């Protein structure tokens, strides 16, 4: 059984991961309303990833005989100045997620909770990928600015994204 402190923090993370999914669905809705269906798809897939992350923590807490506590969540931002604005906000959000994962890792390390450290290693690697992905898209959006052909091509590329749950041991 993990400590009460670590359990409390993991429960907070579960709720934050579900909030992240909610935020990305709001971004998908914004993109769809702006006729960027490919970008809407990108954010819907991102929301699925965040739900997967929440459930990965959820399942871990159950395996460790802990109690999951789900809470309400704040309303997500629903309007954005542009696609670039939505992606910049997403990137900042992913940096917050990374800091929360690092905080959990610090606690697990201090408590010598090796099973949790093992789980969190997967999340650390995932966050490197998440931040790099958003950073790459931001750079592309900055380069193309409002060029309609380039936006169309990037939107088409984003439409091809699919969620494939990673094969994990947990």
Three-state secondary-structure class, residue 126: helix
For 90-123, write each residue's pLDDT tens digit.
999 999 999 999 999 999 999 999 999 999 999 9
For 125-160, b/e burial (b = at least 16 CB within 10 A) is ebbeebeebbeebbeebeebeeeeeebeebbeebee
Q: Is the pLDDT of residue 68 over 80?
A: yes
Q: Are 26 and 76 in contact (CB under 8 A)?
A: yes
- Asked if the model's pLDDT at residue 124 lies above 60, the reply is yes
Residue spans of the domains in the chain: they are 4-159
Q: pLDDT value at position 168?
A: 67
For residue 1, what pLDDT is reported?
Answer: 78
User: What span, in angstroms and rounded, lies between the C-alpha atoms of 165 and 136?
Assistant: 22
Span 4-60, pLDDT tens digits? 999 999 999 999 999 999 999 999 999 999 999 999 999 999 999 999 999 999 999
Q: Would you say the pTM of this structure is higher than 0.85?
A: yes
**pLDDT confidence band for 169 (50 / 70 / 90):** low
Residue 170 in this model has a pLDDT that exceeds 70: no
Nearest of 122, 110, 104 to residue 16 by alpha carbon = 104
Q: What mean pLDDT do residues 60-80 have?
A: 97
Domain 4-159 class, CATH top level: mainly alpha
**Which CB contacts under 8 angstroms, 24+ apart, belong to 106-112?**
107/5, 107/6, 107/9, 108/6, 111/2, 111/3, 111/5, 111/6
Q: Contacts from 137-140 at CB under 8 Å and sequence distance 24+?
A: 137/87, 138/84, 138/87, 138/88, 138/91
Provide the pLDDT for residue 166.
Answer: 84
Provide the sign of the torsion angle of the four alpha carbons 125, 131, 137, 143, taken in this order. Answer: negative
């Amino acid at each position: 059984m993990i400590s009460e402190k670590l359990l409390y923090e993991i429960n907070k993370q579960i709720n934050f991961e579900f909030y992240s999914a909610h935020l990305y669905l709001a971004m998908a809705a914004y993109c769809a309303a702006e006729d960027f269906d490919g970008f809407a798809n990108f954010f819907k897939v991102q929301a699925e990833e965040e739900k997967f992350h929440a459930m990965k923590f959820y399942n871990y807490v159950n395996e460790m005989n802990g109690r999951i506590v789900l809470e309400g969540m704040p309303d997500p931002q629903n309007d954005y100045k542009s696609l670039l604005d939505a992606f910049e906000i997403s990137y900042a959000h992913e940096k917050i997620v990374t800091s929360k994962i690092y905080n959990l890792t610090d606690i697990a390390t201090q408590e010598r909770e090796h099973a949790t450290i093992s789980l969190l290693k997967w999340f650390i690697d995932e966050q490197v990928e998440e931040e790099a992905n958003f950073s790459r898209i931001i750079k592309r959006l900055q380069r193309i600015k409002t060029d309609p052909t380039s936006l169309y091509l990037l939107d088409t590329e984003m439409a091809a994204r699919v969620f494939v749950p990673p094969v994990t041991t947990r």
